[in-house]
Amino acid sequence: MIQHPAILALSVAALLTCFMLAYAARYGTRILEKWDLHSGSELQLDLERRTYLISVILSYMLVFQILSLFLYIFTADNLHSQFTGAMCAAGSLGVNSYGYPVLILKIVNCLLAGVWLIINHVDTRGYDYPLIKTKYGLLNVLAPLILLEAVLQFAYFLNLKADVITSCCGSLFSTEKHSIAGEIAGLPNGPMQLAFFGMMAVTASVGIFFYLRGKGGGFFSFFSSLTFIIAAASLVSFICLYFYELPSHHCPFCILQKEYSYIGYALYATLLGGAISGLGVGALKPFISHPSLSRVIPAIQHRLTLVTLVLYLLFTLIVTWRMLTTSFRL
Amino acid sequence: MIELSSVTKTFNADRHNQFTAVDDVSLTIEPGRLTILKGPSGSGKTTLLALIGCMARPTSGRIRLHNIRTSFFTEAENSALDITSLPERFLTEIRRTTFGFIFQQFNLVKGISALENIMLPAYPTGENQADFRRRALELMELFSVSRHAASPVEWLSGGELQRVAIARALVNNPAIIIADEPTAHLDSKLSGEFMEMVGNLKSEGKTILIASHDPLVYDSVLADTVVGMRDGRITGITGAA
Amino acid sequence: MNIPLNRHSNILDFSLSSLLRRKSKNLSLLVVYTLIIFVIASLIFFVQALKREAAQLLKEAPDMVVQRMVAGRHDLIPAAYGEKISAIRGVTSVSPRLWGYYYDQVFGANYTLLVAEGKPVEPGNIMIGAGVARNQRIQASDMLTLKTSANEALLLTVQGIYPSSSELISSDLIILSAEDFQAMFNLPPGQNTDLAVTVANPREQVTVAAKIAELFPDTRPILKSEILRTYDSLFEWRGGMIVVILAVAVLSFIIFAWDKATGLSAEERKEIGILKSIGWETSDVLLLKFWEGIVISLSAFLTGVVLAYVHVFFFSAALFEHALKGWSVIYPQFRLVPVIDVYQLTVLFFLTVLPYTAATIIPAWLAATVPPDAAMRS
């Protein structure tokens, strides 16, 4: 294990999140078992008070989670000098087999925590807390994932040994290798660009239609999630090439560096934010018929749709602006 | 109108120190009237006020509020609102828009100014601060405590504290005023002044509910209904319309 | 009219006024919090600045250095080795280097003697580092006397002094000519301290190093990247160790914060009871506590970071440079070049604000869930 302040910081954060979530999940389970809003019993009043605590914990956790996602990538990048052959975060993450699973888990957990908070927000608007069971059911899915993430992250750090020869980002995302990463990088440019801009256009039109007419929310949610995946693949496949102005550098992490004026943060933040609110629209759809939510959900879906549209538009604008202004051509 | 049917509130249920503070109370409180809950201490008056004022939920029974406006119910539901099983979050919303509270100990926050104390109930409503500050200043004017706007409440006399407490109860412009033993710490002169102010509020059309065992209050000519209570039960209602 | 925004600004307003009302309690918390952040921030900034300093220095170092080993110890390397090495495919150039250490008995200090490439000084002249100048109390154009290994005095004229902007390694440096160096240590001609090897293609460095080791089994090629890595992990390791020790400090701070937050004074408890009774909701009180936490954390964070910045970059980390640098008598009196990046700040945030926040969640919630009718029953 490498002694590094950032590793300590990430471990501390993981430990805190785990404790907080374990606590939340424990009471979440009690709520699932004992919840009865029509009762004025002291147990019920106590459980209602606990819901506040759990909401606060989850909100803080989402913030910790998003911060730790970026700190994790940043740390991997910072550590690359310790490993022969690693030239950026991509290399450090490949030092052992835990690096990438942790990254993926972190992204998934961010999305889930975001959706949880959206559902929670809606639930607290309905005077009979209609989504309480759904919410704490989802919490019981989220908790093991967070735990798994923490365990894998510890494993990753414990198994970091300086000087292990690793593949640098040049070879990890090189087009010759047959790994998943290589396959994404090897996706043909033309069709990929078509898919990216096509999906963005489709999502935008479905979104605008839903925004104006209030119909097709499920479609919109589906397309926005699909766009998230396509956009992430495009990031590796062609978007970052325009930022690096190199035809073979497919690394999705270097754009987070100062050399590229931290543009990666804007790209990832807009993409992640758009995906969370897009997912939220779909996650709320099944509950629209609850009488106490019949007015709340459409209003919130409306706002979430706007958020997704604006964030995805920003993402597309940054990408388009770069593709047009750089002298680099594929 | 406030309608209670078979309302019971039990504390420490299923434990050796279990006790029932309000026991099977049914009562109707008419709008625009002054209703007094009369009874010795420990008779359940305060708990009943807390239940009516959406501060606590009954263990059993129903409480309905009529003609109350909320943001989360539909128009039809608003006309007869069953608040019995609403979570605290929604009870609070009703409470701060519908009820104004005057407490036995005044319950003013020390260290901050009288004006700030009056403004406090409006902070979480999300109203623009300039708006409710103006309203609070108008109320201070009305109760002639304007000169104390910036003074910490520790500097105020008993009578002034009481008027600040009433002003605070009115800042969100509630339809119903609830007062718990408001004259317990006042001399006869100040108690008389208090009842005068209650009379003014009543003539403005507010519904007023006071719990008291002070004859100055329950024997007042202003009282429309006096509800006698003992051991959590109603012992008699006088003056009911 | 924006209701959520107004609610935030109203409650933030009130939280500021509550914080000011309980000055003494909050001040002690703020002082301890700031101190913790200050110490950890100083450490992180210092390690980062040292790493940068080292990297800066090594920028000019050769890609690869070849040393000859005799009986496991570094020995002189014949110039003939260099000729054979330059014949290896991929090697651009080989330049022999002369350097060594000199102990000045009068001043009790160690100097690094180095023959610079490109002959910046003529025989009889030297360039010195600022530490040497300070130690010997000499200026440019003064004379410096060194004792040769034959115990003879060698008089040298100081041609110039290196600026002290980056002193970490140049502080104890004396640059002299090859002739003077050979005279100093009575070196046989054709022998060098080591060889600097340049390889055009960085990817071939490892291959070239392997070939050299195969060709001359008594040599040891050292790559610049290896040195960098060693420096990095050394600094990180030392820094990491201290952070671990400091974690104990953070822990005790958290207990302190927890205690402060849970040990609500009767006054404060009563106040929250009043707020709840007049129409504040649990989440409003939580928001109040959240803003209080933010205000305290941000003030402590900003103050701590600014103090640490001043400490590290204006006072050269006076509090723990001895622990981390460990130099000889000629202690470098340099000012570190100020560098802070978002990364360092994020790490700092994770190590301090996150634990504090987590420690205050439950106490805040406990305070916020006072039943609204409690104020009536008192």
Residues C287-338: tens digit of each pLDDT: 999 999 899 999 999 999 999 998 888 877 677 666 555 443 444 445 567 7
Tell me, yes or no, whether C211 lies in a domain: no
Q: List the single range of A172-176, A258-262, C30-34, C145-149 with lowest mean pLDDT.
A: A172-176
Q: What's the pLDDT score for residue A171? A: 46
Please tell me which of A308-312, B63-67, C324-328 the model is most confident about, judged by mean pLDDT: A308-312
Other beta carbons within 10 angstroms of residue C141's beta carbon come to 9
Domain-located, residue C204: no
Type of residue numbered A9: A
pLDDT at res. C165? 57
Q: Is C224 part of a structural domain of the chain?
A: no
Which residue from A225, A136, A190, A191 is spatially nearest to A330, judged by alpha carbons?
Answer: A190
Report the pLDDT value the prediction gives residue B239, as an integer from 0 to 100. 77
Whether residues C291 and C254 share a domain: the answer is yes
Q: With pLDDT > 70 as the criterion, what percentage of chain C qualifies?
A: 84
pLDDT higher than 50, residue C176: yes
What is residue A244's predicted lDDT score, i.e. its pLDDT? Answer: 84
User: Which chain A residues are closer than 8 Å to C341 by Cβ?
Assistant: 258
| Coil vs helix vs strand at C356 | helix
Rounded CA separation A250/A169 (Å): 8
Domain boundaries, chain B: 2-238
Last residue of a domain, one of C141, C165, C192: C192
pLDDT at B197 over 80: yes
Contacts B57 to A, Cβ<8 Å: 40, 45
**Shortest Cα distance from B88 to chain A (angstroms)?**
8
Q: What's the whole-number mean pLDDT along residues C58-85?
A: 80
Query: How far, in Å, CA of B18 to CA of B10, rounded?
Result: 7
Region B28-35: mean pLDDT is 91
Coil vs helix vs strand at C235: helix
Q: Which domain holds residue C105?
A: 77-192
Same-domain check for residues C148 and C253: no
- Looking at the structure, tell me whether residues C241 and C128 fall in a common domain: no
pLDDT at A251 over 60: yes
Angle between helices A5-34 and A42-79 (to 10 degrees): 160
Which residue of C271, C280, C373 is in closest CB contact with B124? C280
Kindly determine whether residue A127 and residue B59, on different chains, have CB atoms separated by under 8 Å.
no
Looking at the structure, tell me whether residues C168 and C289 fall in a common domain.
no
Among the residue ranges A295-309, B150-164, C15-29, C39-53, the one predicted with the least confidence is: C39-53
Question: What is the amino acid identity at position C297?
Answer: S
Is C130 contained in some domain?
Answer: yes
Tell me, what's the pLDDT at C329? Answer: 40
- What percentage of residues in chain A have a pLDDT greater than 90? 35
Q: Which of B109, B116, B177, B181 has the highest number of chain C CBs within 10 A, making it the mutation to test binding with C?
A: B109
Task: Name residue C155's beta-bridge partners.
Answer: C145
Structural domain total, chain C: 2
Q: C241, A6: Cβ pair inside 8 Å? A: no
Provide the CATH number for the domain formed by B2-238 in this structure. Answer: 3.40.50.300
Q: Tokens for A305, please give them.
A: 């749709």
The conformation of residue B53, written as its DSSP 8-state character, comes to: T
What is the distance between the alpha carbons of residues A314 and A299, in angstroms, rounded to a whole number?
23
Whole-number average pLDDT of chain A? 85
Of residues B184 and A317, more confidently modeled = A317
Whether C50 is covered by a domain: the verdict is yes
Is the pLDDT at A175 greater than 70, yes or no? no
Q: Is A258 on the interface with C (CB under 8 A)?
A: yes
What's the CA gap between C259 and C254, in Å, rounded? 8
Same domain, C365 and C260: yes
Other Cβ atoms within 10 Å of A187 Cβ, number = 16
Q: Of A19-23, A185-189, B187-191, where does mean pLDDT reach its minimum?
A: A185-189
Residues B6-22, buried b or exposed e (16+ Cβ, 10 A)? Answer: ebbbbeeeeeeeeebbb
> What pLDDT score does A165 carry?
46
Confidence of residue A170 (pLDDT cuts 50, 70, 90): very low
Residue B108 DSSP SS3: coil
Q: Which residues on adjacent β-strands are paired with residue C112?
A: C101, C173
Cβ separation of B60 and A40 shorter than 8 Å? yes
Same domain? For C362 and C241 the reply is yes
User: What is the model's pLDDT at position A168?
Assistant: 46
What is the pLDDT, as a whole number, of residue A296? 85
Q: Do the Cβ atoms of A235 and A273 come closer than 8 Å?
A: no
Q: Considering only A254-268, B166-180, C44-58, which range has the smallest mean pLDDT? A: C44-58
Place of tokens 């009865």: A36
For residue C48, the chain A residue with the least C-alpha distance is A5
What count of CB pairs under 8 Å joins A to C? Answer: 100
**Phi-psi bin for C139: left (phi > 0), alpha (psi -120 to 50), beta?**
beta
Whether the CB-CB separation of A53 and A139 falls below 8 Å is answered with no
With an 8 Å Cβ cutoff, are C277 and B116 in contact?
no
Residue B3 C-beta-side C-alpha neighbours within 13 Å: 11
Residues C187 and C102 grouped into a single domain: yes
Q: pLDDT tens for residues B141-193?
A: 998 889 988 999 989 988 899 899 999 999 999 999 999 998 888 889 989 99
How does strand C143-147 pair with strand C219-223? unpaired
Furthest C-alpha separation in chain C:
99
**Cβ-defined contact of C358 to A5 (cutoff 8 Å):** no
Q: Any idea which of C18-22, C101-105, C269-273 has the lowest mean pLDDT?
A: C101-105
State the DSSP code for B113.
B
Place of tokens 């909100």: A59
Write down the pLDDT at residue B220. 87
Tokens of C113: 């003697």
Is the Cβ of A15 closer than 8 Å to some Cβ of chain C? Answer: no
One domain for residues C372 and C241: yes
What's the gap between Cα B7 and its chain centre? Answer: 18
Of B37, B103, B107, B185, which to mutate for an interface test with C (greatest number of C Cβ within 10 Å)? B107
pLDDT for res A114: 92
Look at residue C336 and tell me if it is in a domain.
yes
**Domain shared by C123 and C38, yes or no:** no
User: What are phi and psi for residue A43, nearest 5 degrees?
Assistant: -60, -45
Please indicate whether, in this complex, the C-beta atoms of C280 and B50 are within 8 angstroms of each other.
Answer: no
Same domain for C52 and C86: no
Please answer yes or no on whether B59 and A40 come within 8 Å at the CB atom. yes
- Tell me the C-alpha distance between B100 and C279, whole Å: 9
3-state secondary structure of B54: coil
C94 and C11 co-located in one domain: no
Mean of per-residue pLDDT scores for chain C: 79
What's CA B240's distance to the chain center, in Å?
20
pLDDT of residue C332: 46
Residue B105 class from Cβ within 10 Å (0-12 exposed, 13-18 middle, 19+ buried)? middle
Q: Which of C192, C216, C251 is the last residue of a domain?
A: C192
What pLDDT, on a 0 to 100 scale, did the predictor assign at position A149? 94
Lowest mean pLDDT among B66-80, B180-194, C279-293: B66-80
Pairing of β B2-11 and β C194-199: unpaired
Q: Tally the C-alpha atoms within 13 A of residue B144's C-alpha that lie toward its C-beta.
A: 3
HEC assignment per residue over chain A: CCCCHHHHHHHHHHHHHHHHHHHHHHHHHHHHHHCCCCCCCHHHHHHHHHHHHHHHHHHHHHHHHHHHHHHHHHHHHHHHHHCCCCCCHHHHHCCCCCHHHHHHHHHHHHHHHHHHHHHHHHHCCCCCCCCHHHHHHHHHHHHHHHHHHHHHHHHHHHCCCCCCCCCCHHHHCCCCCCCHHHHHHCCCHHHHHHHHHHHHHHHHHHHHHHHHHCCCHHHHHHHHHHHHHHHHHHHHHHHHHHHHCCCCCCCCCHHHCHHHCCHHHHHHHHHHHHHHHHHHHHHHHHHCCCHHHCCHHHHHHHHHHHHHHHHHHHHHHHHHHHHHHCCCCC
Same domain as C369, residue C241: yes
The SS3 assignment for C76 reads coil
pLDDT value, residue A214: 83
